[in-house]
Structure 1
Amino acid sequence: MSLTTFENVQCPCGEVFQAEIISSINAQLDPELKELLIGGELNILKCPSCSEFFYVEHFLLYFDPPVQLLAFIYPKSFELEKRRWENKMKEDFAASQEKFEPEEKVKYQPIIMFGLDSLVELLNHENDLADETEIVRYLSKDAGLKIIRIEMFHAREKKIPENLPCAEDIAKTNLSLRENVLSGLKKIIELSPELVIYRNLLNTISNDPVWSVSAIVTESKTEKKSK
């Protein structure tokens, strides 16, 4: 669940007062908080003295299980001691996992970010990616392409989409995975050149002769052709 904390905060005018700060968001249980975050309204307070609104920078734990995202967001100024906070994140995560039964543990590693803007940028990017992915899946059906799926936390780490189109079944083809994905991407971009994220991926793979995701592919399937 999402959590709040009460702390003394200081307005730019100098007024100090106690306020409720959101310190943890479970986006699955409280999607409205995710919308506040994306809209730039999270932890915006009104000063009781000058009546001006201001943002309070504070640590935030962001958790969204369906998309395998666990992020520790520290204030932007903390980036000057990045290694220190990376170590703290790892320690805190390991300690928290010890409290759960094996089946309840988070099966992926958290990511660290500095400044709330970095999280908002990631969420906006993944919203755009989700829209493009739906189009790719639809086009793959009509084009007879295969889709390989990658666990979302691996895809995020590699900065690639979760679903990649392939020209042929990876279990039956003589093509390398790189050649197979390249062929699938070229077909998709021919059909829909406005897919910016997938077009950029095509350029990346084309310029990287050793590109591969074979170690993290979790599923391969043919999209059923739409009628």
Structure 2
Amino acid sequence: MKNVLIISEGKIKARRVRMLFGMTLILALLIFGQTVSAQKEQDVIAQPFKINGKEVKNYLMEKYKLRKHDVSSSLQQTPNGPSGKLHLRGDIVPQNIANAKRMKNREDRARAIAGVFLKEEASLLGITNMDEIREMSIDTFTSPYNNLTTTNIRYQRYINDLELEYAYIGITIEHDGNIRSVSAELVPTPPELYEAVKEKILTEGEILKIVKQDLESAGIDPK
């Protein structure tokens, strides 16, 4: 039986967080956009976004030319990463995707395309270490009507080789190499969690207590 870190089974959800944005937020988004445009495909991970659901939606809509109803976000920032859910759909094309699209093997190409997206949006997704994001499954579906393929990849986050339950990312890639949809549930990871899993296997109650304290310190009401 595998060991699993359970955090959100106790219905811990981020509802509201009070933060000041103003001109600082606008400048930060402009700087981020310029940085992403200039950034080549690499493993450098930026610091997490410090924005809420509305700013996440605006950022994704502008970058990927998505419509308002194509993006759903309940993300809120905590001191230890974003908390909440994210879903987007449409023709989602990462900026550094050209080399990945040239790959011949269907699954390898899908993995490479998804990997580019994860790296480009690492700060948004709260990823500080790509090794913590592990592929759990990859499935390819061929339509009986037009013979076109769709590949679904599901990733799970791990902390010190323990699966962090309810912390996942799902990416769907179409036959043309464009990402069709992204779904994610993000869970903040306090430093105390990393230290605790080094010592022993945590109970659900211990995990919930650590995360509850983290959310409360950010002014978020855990439910």
TM-score w.r.t. length of structure 2? 0.25
Q: Greater Rg, structure 1 or structure 2? A: 1
- Which is richer in strand? 2
Structure number with higher relative contact order (C-alpha < 8 Å, ≥ 6 residues apart): 2
